[in-house]
């Protein structure tokens, strides 16, 4: 497995990470703990060293799962987690309904970190992200608290998720950021306009989540797909039958290149991301061993400058239908 460094930091991770949310949250009921433990350990055996979780996934279940499963490999792996939500008693963990409110008040961050340290069974969190920007708390205050946590040895690296460029700059001035995690893929290219140039300028790594479009870019989902109410895709405008049908043009594009390269559409989608910048580390999620192996295979797919130009030209003619999230959630991104 190739390694990459996140920005100017010395945080070296596998070129592909593993997004662990779906093991406990959002994509139907939590999966079998033993099966997920085996999958996490198989990922380590295959060279993956970068694992992504958050206290809200479950809530708490996902951090507990990683804490136990990865305990024997603690020195080999980098675990990233996130704070920033009020996990109130009536929060419904099945998908995005009844989403918890944002909370990045300093005392709340400190409590969240203590909980994450216990659940992850670690003395230091490798990479701590603010999950979503809280408009009620100045980002300088958030960065200041994380700076103190770093000085106290409880956190090693600071990151933001779905933040806009002004927030990134303001946070970075107080406590240098190691990484930004935001959605980025062939069907969500918003970061290219302002965010990626800013990250390059400041020397911050980029961790794209949903690099396979929440499963769509695998080519296994068409307009006939149905999603259980416990699967949060059932609430997403981009996963209505009409949008799925309209967006098949992207799958046709990936499929054509995949045939040429003797790869799968998912591998082309991931290889495209890896080819954008050397400091980009996608974190596709999966709960299946064969998908894990398929995703890892993307690291070996070589896309030439001509291939990348072909993909960009063809993709520029395709209009992606449907918003990423319902409006109430979309409002919490890009601040």
Phi-psi region of 47 (alpha: psi -120 to 50; beta: other; left: phi over 0): left
Element (H, E) at 156: strand 155-161
Which residue from 327, 297, 292, 323 is spatially nearest to 42, judged by alpha carbons? 292
Give, as one character, the DSSP assignment of residue 4.
E
Q: What separation in angstroms does the CA of 32 have from each of 35, 61, 172?
A: 5, 12, 39
Residue 85, strand partner residues: 102
Element (H, E) at 149: helix 139-151
CB 62 within 8 A of CB 53: yes
What is the C-alpha separation between 184 and 211, in angstroms, rounded?
6
What is the C-alpha separation between 12 and 5, in angstroms, rounded?
4
Let me know if 57 is a catalytic residue.
yes
- Indicate if the alpha-carbon torsion angle 182, 234, 36, 32 is positive or negative: positive
Which residue from 4, 32, 8 is spatially nearest to 17, judged by alpha carbons? 4
Those residues whose C-beta lies under 8 Å from the C-beta of residue 134, and which sit 6 or more positions away, are 84, 102, 103, 104, 105, 142
Interior angle at CA 301, CA 297 and CA 304, nearest 5: 170
What is the C-alpha separation between 17 and 217, in angstroms, rounded?
17
Q: Of the residues 27, 57, 129, 325, which is catalytic?
A: 57
Q: Which residues are catalytic?
A: 57
């Amino acid at each position: 497995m190739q390694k990459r460094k996140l920005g100017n930091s010395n945080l070296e991770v596998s070129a592909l990470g593993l997004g662990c949310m779906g093991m406990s949250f959002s994509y139907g009921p939590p999966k079998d703990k033993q099966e997920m433990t085996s999958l996490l350990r198989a990922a380590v055996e295959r060279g993956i060293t970068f694992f992504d979780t958050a206290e809200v996934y479950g809530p708490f279940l996902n951090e507990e799962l990683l804490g136990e499963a990865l305990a024997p490999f603690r020195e080999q792996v980098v675990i990233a987690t996130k704070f920033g939500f009020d996990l109130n008693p009536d929060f419904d963990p099945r998908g995005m309904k009844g989403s918890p409110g944002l909370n990045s008040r300093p005392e709340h961050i400190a409590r969240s970190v203590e909980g994450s340290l216990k659940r992850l069974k670690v003395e230091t969190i490798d990479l701590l992200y603010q999950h979503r920007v809280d408009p009620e708390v100045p980002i300088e205050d958030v960065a200041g608290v994380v700076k103190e946590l770093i000085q106290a040895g409880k956190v090693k690296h600071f990151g933001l998720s779905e933040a806009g460029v002004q927030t990134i700059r303001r946070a970075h001035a107080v406590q240098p950021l190691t990484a930004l995690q935001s959605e980025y893929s062939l069907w969500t290219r918003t970061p290219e306009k302002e965010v990626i140039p800013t990250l390059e300028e400041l020397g911050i790594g980029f961790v794209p989540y949903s690099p396979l479009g929440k499963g769509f870019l695998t080519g296994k989902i068409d307009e006939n797909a149905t999603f259980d109410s416990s699967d949060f895709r059932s609430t997403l405008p981009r996963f209505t039958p009409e949008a799925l049908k309209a967006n098949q043009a992207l799958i046709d594009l990936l499929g054509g290149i995949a045939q040429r390269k003797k790869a799968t559409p998912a591998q082309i989608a991931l290889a495209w991301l890896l080819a954008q910048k050397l400091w980009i580390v996608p974190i596709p999620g999966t709960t299946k061993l064969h998908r894990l192996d398929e995703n890892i295979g993307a690291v070996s797919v070589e896309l030439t400058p001509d291939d990348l130009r072909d993909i960009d030209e063809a993709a520029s003619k395709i209009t992606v239908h449907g918003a990423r999230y319902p409006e109430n959630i979309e409002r919490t991104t890009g601040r």
